[in-house]
Chains A and B, each alone.
Chain A
Amino acid sequence: DADVTQTPRNRITKTGKRIMLECSQTKGHDRMYWYRQDPGLGLRLIYYSFDVKDINKGEISDGYSVSRQAQAKFSLSLESAIPNQTALYFCATSTGLLLGHEQFFGPGTRLTVL
């Protein structure tokens, strides 16, 4: 069974719609992250959370919001989706105890905004 799961795996939506991407983990990690991947741009950090009461903006947080409902769940919302938010979205987790901050990634959600 996957340690980090993301739902949905694929989503097509229209401009202006509200979208929520969900991430769940069974690794027992405190820290969770949301990234987006665009062709030729690598992985860029959107938001991260070190525990349930801690939320931090990443490199490209504009247009996104997050909710840490529990230690195991971290959701990413697009309040009003726009076409340039079309991308591959990854959730990741870490313990914060591993030297070098190794992160474990989910399988990704492919989001298309028309």
Chain B
Amino acid sequence: DQQVKQNSPSLSVQEGRISILNCDYTNSMFDYFLWYKKYPAEGPTFLISISSIKDKNEDGRFTVFLNKSAKHLSLHIVPSQPGDSAVYFCAASAQGGSEKLVFGKGMKLTVNP
């Protein structure tokens, strides 16, 4: 059973517009959520994270929103740039566990010039 779900496999947006990437989770023990970005032929790189005690975390053009009651988080990229084109993974971890990250399947974002 998938605990972290990224239900949309791809998203295409125009440069300068907002990109919204969604992620749902089922395990109520998750208390920290991370977004990773992956370019072809490279390993995933950490992008931004959020603790379950917050509902928003912002870092430059990237903002992550967490809705605990809905078990839903989203990554907003504003404005989107062609260099943002990559696969984005949502991941979650549970405190006190084995510090394992549980990843979603990923979502391919394409930002068109």
Residue ranges of A at the interface with B (Cβ–Cβ < 8 Å): 4, 31, 35, 40-45, 48, 56, 58, 90, 92, 94, 96, 99-108
Q: What residues of B have a CB within 8 angstroms of the CB of A40 in the complex?
A: 9, 105
CA distance A96 to B95 in the complex (A): 11
Given A4, A94, A100, which contacts B51 in the complex, CB threshold below 8 Å? Answer: A100
**Interface size counted on chain B using CB atoms at 8 A:** 25
CA distance A84 to B98 in the complex (A): 27
Q: Tell me if B105 and A58 are in contact (CB < 8 A).
A: no
Q: What residues of B have a CB within 8 angstroms of the CB of A35 in the complex?
A: 103
CA distance A58 to B99 in the complex (A): 11
Residue ranges of B at the interface with A (Cβ–Cβ < 8 Å): 6, 9, 32-34, 36, 41-46, 49, 51, 89, 91, 93, 98-101, 103-106
Q: What residues of A have a CB within 8 angstroms of the CB of B93 in the complex?
A: 100-101
Q: How many A-B contacts if CB must be within 8 Å?
A: 58
CA distance A107 to B36 in the complex (A): 14
CA distance A43 to B91 in the complex (A): 10
Q: List 8 A-B contacts (CB under 8 A).
A: A42-B6, A42-B104, A44-B103, A48-B98, A101-B32, A101-B93, A102-B34, A107-B41
Q: Tell me if B106 and A42 are in contact (CB < 8 A).
A: yes
Given A41, A48, A58, A100, which contacts B49 in the complex, CB threshold below 8 Å? Answer: A100
CA distance A25 to B100 in the complex (A): 19
Q: Which residue of B lies closest to A92 (CB)?
A: B43
Q: Tell me if A58 and B100 are in contact (CB < 8 A).
A: yes
Task: Please provide the 3 A-B residue pairs with the shortest distance between their CB atoms, ordered closest to farther.
Answer: A105-B43, A100-B32, A42-B105
Q: Which residue of A lies closest to B36 (CB)?
A: A105
Q: Tell me if A56 and B43 are in contact (CB < 8 A).
A: no
> Distance (Å) between the CB of B27 and the closest chain A CB?
14
